Structure 1
Amino acid sequence: MSARRDRPGTPDAGVPLVRALLADAAAAGCAARVVSATARDWASATFVGARHHIVIAVTGEGADGWTRHLPEADLPLWQHIVADLTIDAVTTVGEERHVTIAALTLVAA
């Protein structure tokens, strides 16, 4: 994750988002690790934030349920809101399931 700032004094949402995803996977009974994570700045006329592309490898009994529930998960982030989260792909690599996630985070007002 880069050290960029959405606005002065507001931390980047990338690392907290990844931590929230890993914690959510653990709560669902999955072992999870980050394969890759990137973010790029995003803005509209009204909002400022970032688009995230994250691949997480999961194993364990809870992997299917976690993948199904993830788009509706409540992922609390300090000073940011997860405005949108989608699963773009799920692929099997050996014993792991690689879950490709696209997310939009917005700076909270």
Structure 2
Amino acid sequence: MLLGDGQAQIVSHTERSWASITFAGTRHRVVLAFEGADAVEAGECFIAFLPDHEFAIRGQLVADAAVTRVDHAAAPPRLVITCELLLLEEA
């Protein structure tokens, strides 16, 4: 499944190192914009499916993926989603 149906535009992306006693990885904040009625519908699906999505990132395990902010606009239809992901390095 293609999360977001290829309708998202990346507005911004930040990354910072993260570590605990047993794991190391990176925390990512991504802001995505979905513009137009079809794209907004795809964005709503993105929100619904992100927490349970099976990511395939070589050498990485997505330990957490959450939507932290959602902004809607009606005219023109626009949806902006901020999400945070915690990626851990696979051993």
With normalisation by structure 2, the TM-score equals 0.83
User: 60-69 or 98-107: which moved more?
Assistant: 60-69
Structure 2 residue runs of 5 or longer lacking an equivalent are: none
Give the equivalent residue in structure 1 for 2:88.
106
Query: Comparing both structures, which one devotes a greater share of its residues to helix?
Result: 1
Matched, 1:85 2:65: yes
Structure 1 residue runs of 5 or longer lacking an equivalent are: 1-22
Letter in 2 for 1:35: V
Aligned length: 84
The structure whose RCO (Cα within 8 Å, separation 6+) is larger is 2
Tell me how large the CA RMSD over aligned residues is. 1.5
Q: Distance in 2 between matches of 1:55 and 1:90?
A: 10
With normalisation by structure 1, the TM-score equals 0.70
Residue pair 2:8, 2:43 contacting (<8 A) in 1 also: no
- Runs (4+) off by over 3 Å: none
Q: Percent identity?
A: 31
- Determine which of 31, 56, 59 is the counterpart of 1:55: 31
Query: Comparing both structures, which one devotes a greater share of its residues to strand?
Result: 2
Aligned residue for 1:70, secondary structure, equals helix
- Note the C-alpha offset of 1:95: 2.3
Give the equivalent residue in structure 2 for 1:24.
3
